[in-house]
C-alpha cells in the first residue's frame, strides 16, 4: 500500500468505510455544569458500540447558560443506533434511568429537524403516576414530572435524522504505546471541537479494534489481528516492524459532512504533532467498500 508522507507521517492510500445510522441529539441541563455533565456522562455510558450496547452515544459539547432553553448550564449529547425502534428504546431507557434520576436535571430536544420524531417526555411521563403536567410553550411541548427534588422537565419529543453516519475511523500507528497514545489524544482533542460528531469509545479511543466475524460461532466480531503488533510475525500483518502500537478512533456524526470534518481535524492534529512525539502512520478500516455506502479517503482529508 503506497503512502503519502506529510510532515514525516505516512498516510495510507485507503479509506474509512462507514454506515447509515439513525441519530438524534439531546440537551441536558442542571443547576450547575458539574451536574449537567454528570447526567450526560451517565446517560452516554456503556454506549461505545451498537454491537453490544444497543447504541453509540457521546457528548458533543458543553453549553453555556445562554445556549440552553432554561438558562442553566448544559451538555449536548448525541445518540446513534441502527434502527428507529432501537434508538427509541435506548433513548427512553437512558433518559429514564440516567437523566431523570440525576439531581436538578432537565432534558430537551437537541435536534429540531429530521425525517421523524422520537418520543422523549411523552414516553417517560408515566413515571409521574398521573401527576405529570404538559406545558406547551410556543411551538414546543414539555412534560413536567414531580420528583423528590422538585420537577423534572422533559421535552415531549425530539427529531431523529436518518442521514446520520456511524463508523468513520482512523487507525493511528506509532513506534511505542506512549507516542501512539499521544498522537491519538491530540486527534481526539481536535475532533471534539467539530460539532455534530462524537467519538463513542473511552476517551474517544479504541485499543481493541475489531474485524467482522470470528472462528467461534456466535461471535459477530473479533480482534483485528492484522493490526496486533504481538502477532506481527505470525499472521499476514498490516503493520511493519517499526510499528509497536495501534489505536483507533471511531467517529459517528449527525451528517456525513460532520464525520469528514472530524476526520480531517484529527488527521491534521496527528500530522502537526509529527512522528517523533506521535504517530508514524495513519490508516483506516474498511470492508473493501462493499458494506458501507460512506467512504472517506484519507488522502482527500489530509490537509
Given the rule CB under 8 A, which residues bind other proteins?
A: 29, 69-72, 106, 133-138, 142, 144, 150-151, 153
Three state DSSP letters for 123-174: HHHHHHCCCCEEEEECCEEEEEEEECCEEEEEECEEEEEEEEEEEEEEEEEE
Residue placing its CB nearer to other proteins in the complex, 134 or 235: 134
Residue placing its CB nearer to other proteins in the complex, 107 or 243: 107
Residue placing its CB nearer to other proteins in the complex, 53 or 128: 128
What backbone phi and psi angles, to 5 degrees, belong to 227?
-115, 10
Q: Give the shortest CB-106-to-other proteins separation in angstroms.
A: 5
The cell numbers describing 149, all together, are: 427534588
Is 87 in contact with 47 (CB distance < 8 Å)? no
Based on C-alpha coordinates, what's the Rg of the chain?
A: 21
Residue placing its CB nearer to other proteins in the complex, 106 or 265: 106
Q: Give the shortest CB-120-to-other proteins separation in angstroms.
A: 15
Residue placing its CB nearer to other proteins in the complex, 130 or 288: 130
Amino acid at each position: 500500500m503506497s503512502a503519502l508522507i506529510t510532515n514525516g507521517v505516512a498516510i495510507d492510500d485507503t479509506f474509512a468505510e462507514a454506515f447509515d445510522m439513525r441519530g438524534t441529539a439531546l440537551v441536558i441541563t442542571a443547576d450547575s455544569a458539574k451536574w449537567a455533565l454528570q447526567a450526560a456522562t451517565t446517560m452516554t455510558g456503556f454506549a461505545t458500540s451498537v454491537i453490544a450496547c444497543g447504541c453509540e452515544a457521546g457528548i458533543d459539547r458543553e453549553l453555556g447558560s445562554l445556549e440552553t432553553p432554561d438558562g442553566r448550564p448544559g451538555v449536548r449529547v448525541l445518540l446513534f443506533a441502527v434502527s428507529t425502534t432501537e434508538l427509541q428504546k435506548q433513548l427512553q431507557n437512558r433518559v429514564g434511568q440516567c437523566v431523570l434520576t440525576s439531581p436538578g436535571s432537565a432534558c430537551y430536544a437537541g435536534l429540531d429537524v429530521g425525517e421523524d420524531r422520537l418520543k422523549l417526555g411523552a414516553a417517560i411521563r408515566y413515571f409521574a403516576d398521573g401527576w405529570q403536567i404538559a406545558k406547551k410553550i410556543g411551538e414546543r411541548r414539555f412534560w413536567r414530572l414531580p420528583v423528590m427534588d422538585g420537577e423534572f422537565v422533559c421535552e415531549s419529543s425530539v427529531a431523529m435524522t436518518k442521514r446520520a453516519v456511524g463508523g468513520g475511523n482512523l487507525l493511528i500507528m506509532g513506534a511505542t504505546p506512549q507516542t501512539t497514545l499521544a498522537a491519538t489524544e491530540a486527534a481526539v482533542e481536535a475532533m471534539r471541537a467539530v460539532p455534530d460528531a462524537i467519538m463513542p469509545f473511552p476517551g474517544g479511543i479504541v485499543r481493541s479494534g475489531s474485524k467482522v466475524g470470528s472462528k467461534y460461532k456466535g461471535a459477530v466480531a473479533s480482534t483485528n489481528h492484522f493490526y496486533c503488533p504481538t502477532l506481527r510475525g505470525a499472521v499476514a500483518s498490516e503493520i511493519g516492524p517499526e510499528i509497536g502500537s495501534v489505536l483507533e478512533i471511531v467517529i459517528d456524526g449527525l451528517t456525513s459532512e460532520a464525520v469528514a470534518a472530524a476526520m480531517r481535524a484529527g488527521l491534521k492534529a496527528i500530522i502537526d504533532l509529527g512522528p517523533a512525539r506521535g504517530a508514524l502512520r495513519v490508516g483506516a478500516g474498511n470492508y473493501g467498500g462493499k458494506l458501507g455506502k460512506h467512504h472517506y479517503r484519507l488522502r482527500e482529508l489530509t490537509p
